[in-house]
Amino acid sequence: MDTGATAKPTEAGEQASGTPTEHGVGVTSYVTTSVLNRWHQQHPDWRVVADGDNLFGDQHATRLIEVPSVEIAGWDVGPVWFTERPDAAFDAEHGIARYMDKEVAGAAGGNIFRHFAMTIDYPNQTAWFSCARQCHE
């Protein structure tokens, strides 16, 4: 869960994804390059936008991939756009995974969680989700 997963869609990325932005910045979910490549190979019909996000500048623009449906807490939402991030951003040596107890290959962000009302009980390691909009059971 990454409630701060930030997007800066290019014109092509914004046109394809419809990501709402303020001053050019919006929300997204992340996926590693290796997982994006695997998804695209396994699902060639899923839309991919080359150079769809330029959060790190035009020289480092990354791809977007549209996943038709994502299941969270028994609810399906989608389509969901994921923004590519280098594998190293999530690896156990240098990336966010060094703070996690399991392997990490991406992050569910605000473009997914906008569909839900969430209650998170950190001490008891429990979360409850109810659909706020556009979910399917």
62, β-bridge pairs? 53
**What pLDDT score was predicted for residue 41?**
97
55 in Cβ contact with 89 (< 8 Å): no
Q: Which residue type, as a one-letter code, is found at position 83? A: T
**What pLDDT score was predicted for residue 98?**
47
DSSP state of 9: B
**What pLDDT score was predicted for residue 106?**
73
Residue 110's nearest CA partner among 27, 1, 32 is: 27
**What pLDDT score was predicted for residue 94?**
60
Alpha-carbon distance of 12 to 123, in angstroms, equals 42
**What pLDDT score was predicted for residue 33?**
94
pLDDT in tens, the chain (137 residues): 777 789 999 999 999 999 889 999 999 999 999 999 999 999 999 999 999 999 888 778 899 999 999 999 899 999 999 999 988 777 655 655 544 555 656 788 999 999 999 999 999 999 999 999 898 87
Secondary structure element (H or E) that encloses residue 110, with its range: helix 110-113
**What pLDDT score was predicted for residue 39?**
97
**What pLDDT score was predicted for residue 102?**
55
Where are the domains positioned within the chain? 6-131
**What pLDDT score was predicted for residue 104?**
57
**What pLDDT score was predicted for residue 132?**
93
**Entry pTM:** 0.87
